[in-house]
Amino acid sequence: MQTDEIDMKLISLLSENARLPVADLSRRLGIARTTVQARIDRLQDRGAIAGFTLRKGASLRPAVRATALLSIEPRAAAAVIARLKTLPQVETVHTTSGRFDLIVILSAQTTEELDERLDDIRDAQGVKTSESLIHLSTKIDRAG
């Protein structure tokens, strides 16, 4: 079964607040509670909803975030990614096409801590070059 407009509205509501009771979702969507629950179950079964998660509030979020763009030596990806996994400040790592091979999103409590982690990343065996972008403010955050 395809994802329809009601499913997309349901996903949007759950993305804003995954703790909304089924009764509230039902009222907002204008459909029966049992239908809402059946749709949630179906979306989970199909993998459209992978799970429900906690979003940290501003008081728990790290103060400084950055993106590091890495060019790596040929066949060094596994070793570089293994090194990145050991750094708790590294949140996500993406492979990419173009001038850089990896996009690394990281966070820290201070600029000094961030600077040290960026040094660790630059010094990792297999990293040829890196470019760092410090996040200043968030204008849109649909991922939470």
Which domain does 130 fall in, by range? 64-135
Question: Do 11 and 38 sit in the same domain of this protein?
Answer: yes
Q: What is the mean pLDDT of residues 90-95?
A: 96
Instruction: Identify the H or E element spanning 106.
Output: strand 102-108
Overall number of domains in the chain: 2
Whole-number percent of the chain with pLDDT over 70: 94
Question: Do 40 and 85 sit in the same domain of this protein?
Answer: no
Which pLDDT belongs to residue 1?
A: 59
Residue 144 lies in a domain: no
The angle subtended at Cα 112 by Cα 107 and Cα 116, nearest 5°, is 75
Residue 37 lies in a domain: yes
Question: Do 21 and 79 sit in the same domain of this protein?
Answer: no
Helices (DSSP H) in 17-110: which residue ranges? Answer: 22-29, 33-45, 77-85
Residue 112 lies in a domain: yes
33, 125, 134 from 41: Cα distances, Å = 12, 45, 39
Question: Do 72 and 107 sit in the same domain of this protein?
Answer: yes
